[in-house]
Every structure is written in C-alpha cells, then in structure tokens.
Amino acid sequence: MANNKMDYKSAGLTQSQDGWHFDCPTCGKQRTYSSEFTAKRAIRNNQHCTSCSNRKREQENNGAYSKSLSFTFSKKDKHVERRLKHAWTMGVKERDGCCQVCFSEEKLHAHHIFGKSYAPSLRHSLNNGITLCEPCHREFHQLNGYTQIQFAIK
C-alpha cells in the first residue's frame, strides 16, 4: 500500500519564531508563512515566490503581463488616477468596515477581486473590491502572487 503522505521536511519546511519557512522551488528565495497549514498548502501546490510567479506569467502571456499600468497615463491622467484610486479605496473600506476574512478593524487595505492588470475597466468599480487587513492581504499575495482572479468569494 502506497504512502500518500507528503514529506514536508524533504521539501525544506522549517519552523522558527517568526513562522514557517521553505524555499522557492525556482530561485531558492525563502518564503515565510504565519501558519503551518498555509505553508504546507503552498508546498503541495508547488507555489513559487512572487518574482518567479510573475516571470512565469509573463512568459505564458508572451510578455503581456504588466504589474503596473502607469505607462498608459500622462502626468495629468496620473493625478486623476490617484484621486479615483483614493475614492475607490475609501468606498470599499467604508462599505465593508472590517477585514472580510478575519473581521479585524486594524490596518485595512482595499483589494481588487479581479486584478487591475487583467480587468482595467473594473479597477474603480466598488463591486470589484474587498477589504482585507494588512496580514490577510500580505498572506493572500504570498500564497497566490498577483493573479487574474484575486479573491474567491464563497
């Protein structure tokens, strides 16, 4: 009978005071997670660091992926974009009032459900936003990088 249990130690999973660690399978950069569960899930899913994930996505899309769309704006447009982004951020935070994952009211961030790079027409739609606290937002991007659908609502 085959043993289906994964050997996380051989994958490089270690624990320290500041969390659970393992190395990116591509570049060797150490990744840190706050919980053992999320670290093991990342290992099972063969997840890479954000830099390697972005590089891989760029190759898959023939260089079409860009983390920032700032090159499309003139100086005047950038000022308007900053004001729109601020209004969108405040609107999402005001609507939700707290982190929609852990219900914390500290250090709130507005997060796009569909990434700005993939759905530029939705970048200022309040329906395309969700409020996350800083730790939940950071952990989301550590686990998922910057993907087309940035948050699954169940």
pLDDT digits (tens, 9 = 90+) for 99-143: 998 999 999 999 988 887 777 888 888 888 899 999 998 888 888
| Boundary-marking domain end, from 65, 97, 113 | 65
The answer to whether residue 95 sits within a structural domain is: yes
- Same domain flag for 48 and 94: no
Query: Burial, 146: exposed, middle or buried (Cβ in 10 Å; 0-12, 13-18, 19+)?
Result: middle
Backbone torsion region of residue 69, taken as left when φ is above 0, otherwise alpha when ψ lies between -120 and 50, otherwise beta: alpha
Helix (H, G, I), strand (E, B) or coil at 81: helix
Q: Taking a C-beta distance cutoff of 8 angstroms, is the pair 26, 52 a contact?
A: yes
Strands 30-33, 19-23: parallel, antiparallel or unpaired by DSSP? antiparallel
- Note whether residue 144 is domain-resident: yes
Please report, rounded to a whole number, the percentage of residues in the chain having pLDDT higher than 70. 77
**What pLDDT score was predicted for residue 75?**
60
Q: How many domains does the chain have?
A: 2
Q: Domain range spanning residue 51?
A: 9-65
Residue 2 within any structural domain of the chain:
no
Residues 42 and 81 in one domain: no
Query: 100 and 87: one domain?
Result: yes
| pTM for this predicted structure | 0.47
Residues 79, 141, single domain; the answer is yes
Considering the domain architecture, whether residues 37 and 102 belong to the same structural domain is answered as: no
Are 79 and 150 found together in one domain? yes
Q: Is residue 131 part of a domain?
A: yes
Do 34 and 13 have their domain in common?
yes
One domain for residues 60 and 71? no
Residue 83 inside a domain? The answer is yes
Are residues 118 and 60 both part of a single domain?
Answer: no
Residues 47 and 107 in one domain: no
User: In the chain, at which residue ranges do the beta strands (DSSP E only) sit?
Assistant: 14-16, 19-23, 30-33, 108-112, 129-133
Instruction: Tell whether 35 and 59 lie within a shared domain.
Output: yes
Question: What is the pLDDT, as a whole number, of residue 34?
Answer: 81
Q: Are residues 109 and 152 in the same domain?
A: yes
* Percent of residues, the chain, with pLDDT higher than 90: 16
In Å, how far from its chain's centre is CA 81? 22
> Looking at residue 65, what is its pLDDT?
43
